[in-house]
Amino acid sequence: MADHGEDKTHFGYKDVEATQKADMVAEVFHSVASKYDLMNDVMSFGVHRYWKRFTIECAAVRPGMRILDLAGGTGDLTAKFSHLVGETGEVVLADINESMLKVGRAKLQDRGIVGNVNYVQANAEALPFPDNHFDVITIAFGLRNVTDKAKALRSMQRILKPGGKLLVLEFSKPQNAAMQKAYDFYSFQIIPRMGSMIAGDAESYRYLSESIRMHPDQETLKEMMIESGFDQADYINMTNGVVALHRGYKY
């Protein structure tokens, strides 16, 4: 079952057939892959680096751990995790989108990050890994693009080791009206223009802004994580709730 109906789901603000959404999202990321890192820096004024750094700190990764960086795209988290787990550990960079995976692999290899990183093209709703396999799973700015978020969360819970944790870094709901108003203006008036100028694609960035508004708010996502089998879940708001880091624990 998709997010709001038996056969329908949302693609930004549009209702589409649930079976079509993955392909439509894929087209967005095929289009933006080559400019993805640059656009992240420009759109967030570099603040996305702080959000990701905080996520890495919360992951508390140690040498020898096995980490899944899901929807890992161009590999920002994977690069750091690779150093933290060391030669005895493993990091899997997984993404449903082949274009993003290629950009990520090339970027990391150019930086000399090889050996303990593997690359897997995978759908978050049906992850191709054994039960109780990973110490930590991260998904940064990817969950909102998944068609059936509950199914994906259950898939993540299944492959997480007892004692492990899931970290979901995602855009969320600003915590005051003034921030919400400014954020809406920026998202719908400025970001598509940046997308047009820098990536030659306003429409994909309009979709990304819409997809943020359709994503569950902080409390709803927390409840979804509990319903998906996590024994405990909480979240930390950043930048007044523009972004939230949800943490799910499996005991």
Q: What is the pLDDT of residue 246?
A: 98
C-alpha distances (whole Å) from 184 to each of 112, 168, 178, 179, 230 are 40, 22, 10, 8, 32
Tell whether residue 239 is among the known ligand binding residues.
no
- Quote helix, strand, coil % in the chain, to nearest 5: 50, 25, 25
Q: Is 117 helix (H, G, I), strand (E, B) or coil?
A: strand
Percent of the chain with pLDDT over 70: 92
Burial of 23 (0-12, 13-18, 19+ CB in 10 A): exposed
Rounded to an integer, the average pLDDT of 207-235 is: 95
Q: Which of 11-20, 85-94, 205-214, 235-244 has the lowest mean pLDDT?
A: 11-20
Does position 188 have pLDDT exceeding 60, yes or no? yes
Give the global pTM.
0.87
- Where exactly are the structural domains of the chain? 21-175+205-249
Does position 86 have pLDDT exceeding 50, yes or no? yes
Strand duo 117-121 + 8-11: pairing: unpaired
From CA 226, how far away is CA 185, in angstroms rounded?
33
Q: Which of 2-11, 24-33, 148-157 has the lowest mean pLDDT?
A: 2-11
Tell whether residue 147 is among the known ligand binding residues.
no
Rounded to an integer, the average pLDDT of 79-101 is: 95
**Mean pLDDT of all residues in the chain?**
90
Tell whether residue 231 is among the known ligand binding residues.
no
| Residue 194 binned pLDDT confidence (cut-offs 50, 70, 90) | confident
Query: 21-175+205-249 has which fold?
Result: Rossmann fold (3.40.50)
**pLDDT tens for each residue of 34-78:** 777 777 787 888 899 999 999 999 999 999 999 999 999 889 999
Q: Which of 89-98, 123-132, 186-195 has the lowest mean pLDDT?
A: 186-195
Tell whether residue 74 is among the known ligand binding residues.
yes
Tokens of 9: 């789901």
Assess contact for 66 and 134: CB atoms under 8 A.
yes
From CA 67, how far away is CA 85, in angstroms rounded?
8
Tokens of 88: 């005895």
C-alpha distances (whole Å) from 6 to each of 19, 67, 117, 158, 220 are 11, 33, 38, 24, 20
Q: What is the pLDDT of residue 1?
A: 43
Burial of 95 (0-12, 13-18, 19+ CB in 10 A): buried
